[in-house]
Amino acid sequence: MPIWSDSSRQRAAGIALAVAVDAVLADPRRGHPVALFGRAAAALEKRLYGDARPYGVIHVALLTGAATALGVAAERVRNPVVRTGLTAAATWAVLGGTTLAREGAAMADALEEGDLPRARRRLPHLCGRDPRDLEAPELARATVESLAENTSDAVVAPLFWGAVAGVPGLLAYRVINTLDAMVGHRSPRYARFGWAAARLDDVANYVPARVTGLITVAVGPDRRQALAVLRRDGHRHPSPNAGRCESAFAGALGLTLGGTNVYAGRTEERPTMGDGRKPEVRDIRRAARLTRAVSLAAAALAVIASLRPGRKDREG
């Protein structure tokens, strides 16, 4: 019978505790650690900004390095209760699964009530598309696609890195993903400065996005179709990672995702994924339920993956 090392048991317990806390409390409305980090990153950007890749590399390296160093310090704490608590706190700070599902439910509420202005105001909580001219079907598609992609970004990826690398992995991943959201998009200001953030986010999400696709196949309502669409269409998205999540959701829910998206006046034509009908308002709640199922499965896998056989750690 394997003997789990103390450190791995504390990591697993911390992750499990954080998932439970997130399920009950979700994200705080004010003073969220990620929001505080965002303000610090923006302040550093003002000092470092230059319209060239090296400036962006320095920006990402300083912030990611600081977060990783903080995580390493937390991992060196020997007190088991404190160490478990620090892992739980870090995991809770970077998880967003409950809030994501609630945002999907809020969008469904608005559209089911026929309140397009409210639905358009809520869309920026989920993605960066321009909502001003979107009608209910396009708002529904945007929501389903965002739930699919963000299930990886907000749940599976942080849990993956927490299981693999503990608190340093948790904090470094959330910094990378947040910087990508802040400066990694294609705009005149960030085309070069944000290059490093965008590429590093692609690397950090490469494995988690594919894990998300496979978990979606395993827990989705139509496993066979989810796998077929994932294999056929997962690579068609312009992102190396988002398509794996969106295609699996499309197959599992019997939908076709993709089409024309508008971002701050910039229009992008996205390839379609799936063989079903286009999303409707009623599909938002189905997608939110799938998000919850994938999140729960990912949490269980992360706890199991955190446990590693080994000798008991020495008390010091």
Q: Summarize pLDDT for 111-120 with one digit per residue, the tens.
A: 999 999 999 9
Q: Please give the pLDDT value at position 312.
A: 58
The number of domains in the chain is 1
At residue 143, φ and ψ (nearest 5 deg) are: -70, -45
Q: With a cut of 90, say whether residue 30 has pLDDT above it.
A: no
Q: Is residue 117 part of a domain?
A: yes
The whole model's pTM is what?
0.93
pLDDT band per the 50, 70, 90 thresholds, residue 25: confident
Q: What is the chain's mean pLDDT, rounded?
A: 93
Q: Is residue 297 part of a domain?
A: yes
Q: Please give the pLDDT value at position 6.
A: 86
Q: Please give the pLDDT value at position 308.
A: 85
Q: Is residue 316 part of a domain?
A: no
Rounded percentage of the chain residues whose pLDDT exceeds 90: 82
pLDDT tens profile 103-139: 999 999 999 999 999 999 999 989 888 888 899 999 9
Q: Please give the pLDDT value at position 182.
A: 93
Q: Is residue 314 part of a domain?
A: no
**Pairwise CA distance, residues 195 & 262, whole Å:** 21
pLDDT tens profile 37-63: 999 999 999 999 999 999 999 999 999
pLDDT tens profile 227-275: 999 999 999 998 999 999 999 999 999 999 998 887 766 778 889 999 9
Q: Is residue 196 part of a domain?
A: yes
Query: Is residue 311 within 8 Å of 4, Cβ to Cβ?
Result: no
pLDDT band per the 50, 70, 90 thresholds, residue 223: very high
Q: Is residue 311 part of a domain?
A: no
Q: With a cut of 80, say whether residue 16 has pLDDT above it.
A: yes
pLDDT band per the 50, 70, 90 thresholds, residue 2: low
**Pairwise CA distance, residues 164 & 302, whole Å:** 9
pLDDT band per the 50, 70, 90 thresholds, residue 316: very low
Q: Please give the pLDDT value at position 311.
A: 62
Q: Is residue 313 part of a domain?
A: no
Q: Is residue 302 part of a domain?
A: yes
- Domain of 135 in residue numbering reads as 6-306
pLDDT band per the 50, 70, 90 thresholds, residue 84: very high
Residue type for 203, please? V
